Structure 1
Amino acid sequence: MSVRFLPLFLFLPFSVLAQGFAGLGTDAEGYETPRPGYEFQFPADHGAHPAFRIEWWYVTATLTGDDGESYGIQWTLFRSALKPFERQGWQNPQLWIGHAAVTTAEHHRFAERIARGGIGQAGVIATPFSAWIDDWEMAGPDMETLSLSARGADFSYEMNLKAQGPLVFHGDRGFSVKSADGQASYYYSQPAYAVTGSLRLPEGDVQVTGQAWMDREWSSQPLSKDQTGWDWFSLNFDSGARLMAFRLRGARGDFTSATWIAPDGTTRSIPDGLVETAPLETARVAGREIPVRWRLKLPAENLDIEVSALNPDAWMETSFPYWEGPVTVAGTHQGRGYLEMTGYE
């Protein structure tokens, strides 16, 4: 669906706003909010939660082509509720946005799709699993085995994902606190997909293999009103260990959280203040100064690394603009991963 034909109200939940990035610091009245002690129910929780205001199914992958080059892909489906319920037809208050991208050292290609729920154009079914918007789809018999496809004006991809480890629950068993005020989300990941597939690019078709990471998160007010954006890292180390870490930026200072994932899939939650993140270098991207090289330290795991963007220009000029791209890791640990940065003006 062409963006120019959509009514203006469709963009309201995602406009760039005074209260937090994409309105995530606005009031949650009328919506359900996360609570500690939630017992996840699968496969149901792989599906949508329309009583919560925001939700996403978020896949990133670091890949190596049969040409020896490094690639990154993104596949994301966002759900945003105008009202906390679901119904069939055009009066459905659930809105959907899809983002897809392919990144190399030289190019960053992306596309966006926008849809309303209730008419079959976009949605998520928990079992057998299917998430789609237009002809983009992530589907499989379950979340262990998935196919993934998307296309834009100058790219397309088809991937097969196979989980190689357990789900990971961030924070307190999936209750992930985002601020000193207690705002939170439900947040779990599958960080250990093995990937095979193909890219179709203007330069030619490429067969690829690599690793993918999927994040599942839903909430109604995950940020405090003074928080304006975040820096989020998902890193796969050559040792087999993994790290999720984020820094939320606000007028009252930063709030951090991390999850250390051992090679056997066991996890350790890292509370606020114990992971250190510091920008080392910025680049001028889309008229903004964006950090494209970082230092991360996690003393509890003897981690001291530099994280560098494969392509500093990995800017998503979508309805809500942000930076998203693959990164390389050097220092005490080596590897690859993904970095997302929001709220930079």
Structure 2
Amino acid sequence: MSADRISRRALAGGIAALTLARRAGAQGYAGLGESADGFAKVVPGKTFTFPGDHGPHPEFRIEWWYLTANLVDSRGAACGLQWTLFRQAAQPDPQREGWANQQVWMAHAAVTRTDTHRFNEVFSRGGVGQAGVVAKPFDAWIDDWELKGFDRTDDRTLAPLALKASSTDFSYALTLDADRPVVLQGDRGYSRKSERGQASYYYSQPFYRAHGTLTIDDKPVDVSGQAWMDREWSSQPLDTDQTGWDWLSLHLASGDKLMLYRLRQKDGRDTPFGNWISAAGETQMIAGGDIQMIPRATAEVAGRKLPVEWQIAIPSRSFSILCKPLNPKAWMGTGFSYWEGPISFAGTHEGVGYLELTGY
């Protein structure tokens, strides 16, 4: 591909990102509270179909394919990685062709150890083949970053998959496998975000087993562990008075999984949500009043004070843990900046997971 084609793509992506950033200022974190007139609405009662819902939903304004992995290297040292592909529509349907296409693609990749946190961000416009997602055979890509299925990939489990990303000072290549189907979050995949109707469609594959190679500063190591992928799409996932969220995905040593988040509001009220996922893949929503998420320690990162240690309790399940970060400096200094990194936890239950903090 010519340098002119690449520069045009980069310029278009950069302009689109700046436009979205300007719009975001008065509409909550990353503009996700902005009015979504003309876009499709999220309503209860959707019937999910696979492989179709593994692919893009351009009639909605925003969606993502979001993967995190808790790994250990061949010496037993903990590390983590992130791979995320975002699609945002600048305008509703109908879809236009080529460079006029209104889809903006953005991706983040990161690796984290106790001694370092590396990240990169790339952009592309839709319509020119530089980024996209195909449901069957599954393929999600932007440039040479890719999450790709095989001929034998099962639509129910979305596995196995091959994952890769690279930057100037890190890269990784993993194979992901799972033997249980994806699970619907919230109320059968309808994830309510506010009392005024904001919501998303949301499912996860929290049962990935991962193995492959992680390279930092040209030093490759073999890694293995657990991974979790979230799939979510909406047109207005936040209300205008919601400033961000604190989100956790937890792999319990028992084999159970737990997804928790709280949405923060300008008036100081927080709304918690959660799903308990059994080792067999059965899900149960957790009542917001039964979730306690209490920050216990902060870290100074990028000029911000961030709550990186959390006490989490679910009294109805006799569940009480303290979560600590692998690296408190896991700041994603991307266009829409946030904190994202691996954690470990202990208490009534033990395990590892990922913490995300936005809007700080």
TM-score by length of 2: 0.93
Give the secondary-structure state (helix, strand or coil) at the position aligned to 1:22: helix
Aligned-residue sequence identity (percent) comes to 53
- Residue 59 of structure 1 corresponds to 67
Cα pair 1:138 1:148 within 8 Å, conserved? yes
Report the aligned-residue RMSD: 1.4
2: CA distance, partners of 1:47 / 1:235:
25
Matched, 1:291 2:301: no
1:74 aligns with 2:89: no
SS in 1 for 2:289: coil
Task: Give, in angstroms, the shift of residue 280 of structure 1.
Answer: 0.2
Mapped contact 2:170–2:218 kept (Cα < 8 A): no
**8 Å CA contact 1:255, 1:273 repeated in 2:** no
Contact 2:258 2:277 in 1 (8 A): yes
**Alignment correspondent of 1:218:** 233
Note if 1:12 corresponds to 2:29: no
- Give the conservation status (yes or no) of the 8 Å contact 2:291–2:314: yes
**Matched letter for residue 223 of structure 2:** V
Moved more, 104-113 or 197-206: 197-206
* Deviation (angstroms), 1:227: 0.3
Whole-Å separation in 2 of the counterparts to 1:12 and 1:258: 33
1:119 equivalenced with 2:119 (yes/no): no
Q: 2: distance between equivalents of 1:144 and 1:88?
A: 32
Q: How many residues align?
A: 344
Indicate yes or no: 2:319 matched with 1:310: no
1:101 aligned partner, one-letter code? A
Deviations, residues 83-115 of structure 1 (Å, cap 9, x unaligned)? 123333001000000100000011000011100
The alignment partner of 2:20 has SS state of: helix
The DSSP-based 3-state class of the residue aligned with 1:140 is strand
Contact preservation (8 Å) 2:36, 2:236: yes
Instruction: Give the structure 1 partner of residue 111 of structure 2.
Output: 102
Secondary structure of the corresponding residue to residue 290 of structure 2 = coil
Inter-partner Cα distance in structure 2 for 1:135 and 1:203: 18
- Once the 2 structures are TM-superposed, how far is the Cα of residue 273 of structure 1 from its aligned partner? 2.7
Aligned to 1:181: 196
Report the 3-state secondary structure (helix = DSSP H, G, I; strand = E; otherwise coil) of the residue aligned with 1:13.
helix
Partner deviation per Cα, 1:222-279 (whole Å, 9 max, x = no partner)? 1111000000000001011110000000024111110001111111011333211010
Q: Does residue 229 in structure 1 map to residue 254 in structure 2? A: no
Within 1, Cα distance between the matches of 2:15 and 2:250? Answer: 37
Please say which of residues 5-14 and 149-158 is displaced more in the overlay: 5-14
Q: Does 1:268 align with 2:257?
A: no
**Given the alignment, which residue of 93, 96, 118 partners 2:102?**
93
Aligned counterparts of 1:136 and 1:203: Cα–Cα separation in 2: 18
CA contact under 8 A between 1:184 and 1:221: conserved in structure 2? yes
TM-score by length of 1: 0.97
Counterpart selection for 2:351 from 310, 335, 344:
335
Structure 2 residue runs of 5 or longer lacking an equivalent are 1-5
1:239 to 236, 248, 254: 254
Q: Distance in 2 between matches of 1:341 and 1:210?
A: 23
1:201 equivalent in structure 2: 216
Amino acid at match of 1:97: M
CA contact (8 A) 2:308 2:325 kept: yes
Whole-angstrom CA distance in 2 between matches of 1:225 and 1:262: 34
Q: Which residue of 1 aligns with 2:3?
A: none
Cα drift, residue 182 of structure 1:
2.2
Conservation of the 8 A alpha-carbon contact between 1:164 and 1:192: yes
